[in-house]
Chains A and B, each alone.
Chain A
Amino acid sequence: MNQDKNKLLLYLSQVSFAINDLVLFLDTHPCDTNALNYYQELRKARKEALAEYTHKYGPLINYDVDDACYWEWVKDPWPWE
């Protein structure tokens, strides 16, 4: 698996984990502006990274399959392959 793809996958894991942890904090601190701002920052970063991954390597999750003629999801190698 090439270096870039690996790096992008790792980043997606890191940013997704941070959002998950932050959601736990926000569940009990719904008005905390620091946490809300940080959430928006991470959400944007994750969205961009996921779009980049999908563009370069195909859909990472099967909610992002764009191909209307062929179910691309089965054609591409699994993300970990």
Chain B
Amino acid sequence: MNNMNLRRPNDCGFRNGCTENMNNRNCGCGHNAKCDADSSMNNDALSGLPVGIGYVPWQQWCKVYDLAKGLNQGTIFPILDLPFYGCVPRNCGRCHGGAL
């Protein structure tokens, strides 16, 4: 049986079930653990879904802020109360803001 999509918990996450631990050593199966794109490509929670389409997880009801805090924060939902975090690619000069 072709186990291309089978990933055992402790393997390096590379699709073909490489069993080396990715944290310390080069696992030798060809993927590059230090490359963001590579590791995110191989640990994709949405794998199997059509590409090219944006996916937003379904918001669940939760305990909401009290009225005063809701107006102050700009949302009554703590889960949506996110800091504005202008993203700047890592190693991109010394501009402030977050980093990818």
> Chain A interface (Cβ within 8 Å of chain B)?
11, 13-15, 17-18, 21-22, 25, 28-29, 32, 34-35, 38
A21 to B59, CA, bound (A): 13
Which residue in chain B gives the minimum CB-CB distance to A21? B76
In the complex, what residues of B have CB within 8 A of residue A17's CB?
Answer: 67, 70-71, 76
Q: Chain A contacts of B71 at CB under 8 A?
A: 13-14, 17-18
B35 to chain A, nearest CB (A): 37
**B68 and A35 form a contact (CB under 8 A):** no
- Asked whether any CB of chain A lies closer than 8 Å to the CB of B64, the reply is yes
Q: Say if the beta carbon of B39 comes within 8 Å of chain A.
A: no
Looking at the assembled complex, report how far the CB atom of A43 sits from the nearest CB atom of chain B, in whole angstroms: 13
CB-nearest residue of chain A to B61: A34
**Partner of A15 from B61, B67, B77 at Cβ < 8 Å:** B67
Residues of chain A within 8 A of B64, CB atoms compared: 18, 38
Residues of B within 8 A of A34 (CB): 61
20 A/B residue pairs, CB under 8 Å, sorted by A: A11-B67, A14-B67, A14-B68, A14-B71, A17-B67, A17-B71, A17-B76, A18-B64, A18-B67, A21-B70, A21-B75, A21-B76, A21-B77, A22-B76, A25-B61, A25-B77, A28-B59, A29-B61, A32-B61, A38-B64
Q: Which residues in window 37-92 of B have CB below 8 A to A?
A: 59, 61, 64, 67-68, 70-71, 75-77
